[in-house]
Structure 1
Amino acid sequence: MTTTTTGAVTGTPVDLGAPLRGADLQRAASPLPVLVGPAVRDRLDRGREFLRTVLADDARPVYGAKTGFGALIGFAGRADEADQCDNTLAHLGAGQGPDLPADIARAALLVRTWSLAQGLSGVSPHVVDGLAAMFATTFVPAIPRYGSVGASGDLIPLAYATQALRGRGHAYVDGERLPADEALRRTGLTPLTLDGRDALALVNGTSVTTAALALALDDVRASHRAVQDLTCLLADVLGCDPGFLDPRLITAYGHPGATTVADHMRDVLAGTVPSGARSLQEPYSIRCSPQLIGAVEDALRYVDGVVAADLAGVSDNPLFFPEDDLVAHGGNFFGQPAAIAADVLAAVTASLGNLAERQLDLLVDPVRNTGLPPMLAAGPGQQHGLQGVQLATTAFVAEIRRAALPAGTQSLPTNLHNQDVVPFGTQAALRAYDVAGLLRLLCGSLALGLRQAVHVGGRRPTAPRCAALLDALADAIPPVDPDRPLDADVRLAADLVTGFRC
């Protein structure tokens, strides 16, 4: 797919009339076409017409359109629709901290656009058209990280996104941070005009939480596959007996994730020949790897389901059902499912990260690595091999563990006790996104260690698929001989192994 800032966009469009997928969110980081088809337009028109009918009836209350917001619902809102929009957004300009990464900001708006396009929010059709047009450009709203409790939607971050689309605040174009009105001009976009209902619908959903969780899940999934492959490569380089993967043994364990993982690892290790130099039972970081990585697989399947449900759901309040003449006031903006799933994702990221760090520790230790030099140094003392890399992995694991404290258990009442319980899913999802990046670096560190191990005397893998992975690493990364800074090599190895298919 190619594009310029304001030029034509090519590639398969994201159809707002079809299910939204995690892969669509990955694509949203770059310009992409978004299709507002006839069926979507029809339901938007019907939802908007019904809203107009309801608003014309003085006897029918509609939160946020005729009332104040949150704890001030008992007071009348502003009579003018444009003023009600300003009233919605202005008080939410209270976010702080660094801007969210561009991929989260754009993915969040894609989630929000899809939700609005289902026609249950009563938004003006031109709002969805305007959002769709934005995705064809490199426009990214500047959204501060801190301020959402994820309970009435991601109110504060989505308010910043909405204000940027109106030409207020700041935005990025091709990575440059600009006043939002200038960013709109550069990308050829027209500022959105909104009434009170449009504004509230844009902010009253957990789209930032869902987007961050979905992107984190994809990243952890890639590392999860890489850890399986790297464990096999480690076992082959050290000459381990693959009996710890015996299908009868794993079947007796009884957990489906372990079965799936062991099946894959047996395939990767097919053809390996044990060296006979290892002890009867390997350390747990090898011997128990299918059980550990399999437990992560079981947990990731749960997170898969939560993300799929979030992407298929409408997150807003109230919702409008023209066929039933119903305005439903409720809590579909409450991000509890994503909060729990994000906490689970952070926990399993910690387990995978700990495994990768322990495996690297085994690999650099001459007492346990079948006689390879300490720190895999080509000339110990004169050179230091992976010593700095191992120090960094220890720091990565400590940071992941610190961040894995569950956010969903930290509920605090706010908003005059209107929001007396809150999920804190936004914090959970953003931290899951952060630690997913650290897990990638741990995979890269272990991969670099395995590439170096063969250079300093480790055996060439005997399983063809393990050998293919090692060759890919060796082709991309020279041996550490002599010492050099390895930060870029770790990142390169991480990209390679998370994208490689054994």
Structure 2
Amino acid sequence: MTTQRAPGPARTAAPTGSQLTGSRPTVAGAVDLARPLRVADLRRVAAGVRVEVPAQVRDRVARGRGHLRTVLGDDDRPVYGATTGFGALVGFAGRDDEADQCDNTLAHLGAGHGPEIDPAVARATVLVRAWSLAQGVSGVSPRVVEGLAAMLATPFAPAMPRYGSVGASGDLIPLAYAAQSLRGRGWAYLDGERLPAGEALTRAGLSPLVLDGRDALALVNGTSLTTAALALALHGVRAAHRAAQSLSCLLVDVLGCDPGQFLHPRLISAYGHPGAVDVAARMRVLLDGAVPSGGRPLQEAYSIRCVPQLLGAAEDALRYVDGVVAADLRGVSDNPLFFPDEDLVLHGGNFFGQPAAFAADLLGTVAAQLGNLVERQLDLLVDPARNGGLPPMLAAGPGRQHGLQGVQLASTALVAEIRRNATPAGMQSLPTNLHNQDVVPFGTQAALRAVEQAELLRLLCGSLAVGLRQAVHVGARTPTAPGCAELLDRLVEVVPAIDPDRPLDADVVRAAELLDELTALPDES
């Protein structure tokens, strides 16, 4: 591939006509393949960003490639996928011609089904794969890494099917479609438009990627889709977790609850869990200055009283997922691996995505319980028996108007969908491939489901935000804590009062977008 761009407007901010050379000036916000990947990198590259391939990266990739060539010159040293068949057919010789070996590798994996993966996830997958190959232990051609980087500087995204990967031997089938797309075969997306891959490459100013057998196998023999989806899902659930903290504080304040009881530092420190301690501390900051109404029960419902314990447990779980994602993003997922300095070719299981499978399942559980909390808080808020006497469904004129009734119904459906998708996948192993893959992790589907759960959870948070804004309109007190008052003011700016009734789907989305903005961490801006 080249980085020459076709004339005309482009979605990305990457300069046109640049070459992938070590002397190229660094572009602000670029992703450097010489440095560890971060979740923020995957989010930025989904929208298009320059990916730097420094000279040191090209040198180590070339050194690994040279070692492969040396090994292939020795008839006594077989190399899986380069001189042999694949999977259960490893005991048979591969094709003599390297181009034929590439075609054979990718052709037999063209067996995916289902809807296509979000192009943003597909682009993040390419970045993860590029970083792994850039470590120089996969034996690929330098042109492969440079070609992936060139693709990411354009709005091109490979079309990849949702179903086909078992998360072992890498995400073979979806990554094979990605590789074919980069070769100009199959389908691709350009600026969100689905096109024949060859046409998309031409429009993007790219030339088809040329691969041999080892290149092709290295592109598919890793869990880069699983890792990318897990990382993006983690970001989404973390954002919702922060939003749930802020919304819980606003709920406490508008209802007049006493946070000095259930958030007291002595109480929380006695609980002993670090996540709860940290969540409670952040909530106390936002609720600083809150004045209890004096009219609430001594002990609030669990959806208020146990928020620091629930969100704290979620924080502890998310920190575990943080660690798995960080390890995946700095690890090499491939087989075999080549170590030139020791003259080693090692065949093993670094393409086995069990860590990500466990983490994705845990993330789905966290998303489900966060969804339960937010939905229950909304249910409490619209119920006059528990909301301090506010109108039912927060309707400005009950009977003639219906307020949050539709939103509350939709929230029930959203949380049910999140919970349905929280069934663990990482222990549902099924043997396949003539029992060569006799135990598999199924992390790919768990991670892709987590991406969807995170988006539904985001909409649940937007729904609660709309409810809190409406509660003040129909009689709830204005917040007494300055931090909560500021949050309400921002909500009022984007969500008009529901009086009279109107469709609220767009309001929920606007509220969710505002929460994204208000809870974003510095490296997410």
TM-score tier, shorter chain, comes to over 0.9
**For 1:432, what is the secondary structure of its paired residue?**
helix
The Cα shift of 1:12 comes to: 2.1
Aligned to 1:4: 10
Contact 1:376 1:456 (8 Å CA) reproduced: yes
Aligned to 1:477: 495
Contact 1:346 1:432 (8 Å CA) reproduced: yes
Aligned to 1:312: 330
Distance 2:348 2:517 in 1: 42
Aligned to 1:286: 304
Distance 2:422 2:407 in 1: 23
Contact 2:183 2:210 (8 Å CA) reproduced: yes
User: Which runs of no fewer than 5 residues in structure 1 stay unpaired?
Assistant: none
Question: 1:328-407 residue pairs with structure 2 within 5 A?
Answer: 328-407=346-425
Aligned to 1:437: 455
**For 2:245, what is the secondary structure of its paired residue?**
helix
AA of the residue aligned to 2:381: L
Deviations 1:110-144 (A, max 9, x none): 00000000000000001111111101100011111
User: Which runs of no fewer than 5 residues in structure 2 stay unpaired?
Assistant: 1-7, 17-26, 521-525
**For 1:140, what is the secondary structure of its paired residue?**
strand
Aligned to 1:204: 221
Contact 2:379 2:408 (8 Å CA) reproduced: yes
The Cα shift of 1:349 comes to: 0.5
Contact 2:175 2:220 (8 Å CA) reproduced: yes
Distance 2:283 2:147 in 1: 48
Distance 1:305 1:380 in 2: 49
Aligned to 1:47: 64
AA of the residue aligned to 1:483: D
AA of the residue aligned to 2:184: G
Aligned to 1:159: 176
Aligned to 2:24: none
TM-score computed with the length of structure 1 as normaliser: 0.99
Contact 2:239 2:519 (8 Å CA) reproduced: no
Distance 2:107 2:295 in 1: 69
Contact 1:96 1:146 (8 Å CA) reproduced: yes
Aligned to 2:200: 183
Aligned to 1:70: 87
Deviations 1:311-344 (A, max 9, x none): 0000000000000110000000000000000000
Aligned to 1:259: 277
Contact 1:5 1:187 (8 Å CA) reproduced: no
Aligned to 2:22: none
AA of the residue aligned to 2:341: E
TM-score computed with the length of structure 2 as normaliser: 0.94
Aligned with 1:145 (options 153, 162, 181): 162
AA of the residue aligned to 1:165: L
**For 1:211, what is the secondary structure of its paired residue?**
helix
Contact 1:222 1:499 (8 Å CA) reproduced: no
Distance 2:385 2:277 in 1: 32
Distance 1:356 1:126 in 2: 49
Contact 1:227 1:356 (8 Å CA) reproduced: yes
Question: 1:28-39 residue pairs with structure 2 within 5 A?
Answer: 28-39=45-56
AA of the residue aligned to 1:14: V
Aligned to 1:19: 36
The Cα shift of 1:498 comes to: 2.8
Aligned to 1:241: 258
Distance 1:176 1:229 in 2: 37
**For 2:189, what is the secondary structure of its paired residue?**
strand
The Cα shift of 1:4 comes to: 1.5
Aligned with 2:289 (options 263, 266, 271): 271
Q: What is the RMSD of the two structures over their aligned residues, measured on CA atoms?
A: 1.2
Distance 1:219 1:399 in 2: 16
Contact 1:149 1:422 (8 Å CA) reproduced: yes
The Cα shift of 1:5 comes to: 5.6
Deviations 1:402-449 (A, max 9, x none): 100000111000000000000000011001111111100110010000
**For 2:246, what is the secondary structure of its paired residue?**
helix
AA of the residue aligned to 1:347: T
Aligned with 1:409 (options 417, 427, 436): 427
AA of the residue aligned to 1:136: A
Contact 1:407 1:425 (8 Å CA) reproduced: yes
The Cα shift of 1:3 comes to: 7.1
The Cα shift of 1:102 comes to: 1.1
The Cα shift of 1:501 comes to: 3.9
Aligned to 1:232: 249
Distance 1:103 1:477 in 2: 28
AA of the residue aligned to 1:4: A
Distance 2:403 2:11 in 1: 44
**For 2:407, what is the secondary structure of its paired residue?**
helix
**For 1:500, what is the secondary structure of its paired residue?**
helix
Q: In the alignment, does 2:179 pair up with 1:172? A: no
Distance 1:473 1:224 in 2: 18
Distance 2:213 2:219 in 1: 10
The number of equivalent residue pairs is 501
Q: In the alignment, does 2:100 pair up with 1:94? A: no
294-303 or 22-31: bigger deviation: 22-31
Aligned to 1:454: 472
Aligned to 2:523: none
Q: In the alignment, does 2:240 pair up with 1:223? A: yes
The Cα shift of 1:8 comes to: 1.5
Distance 2:9 2:265 in 1: 50
Contact 2:116 2:162 (8 Å CA) reproduced: yes
**For 1:97, what is the secondary structure of its paired residue?**
strand
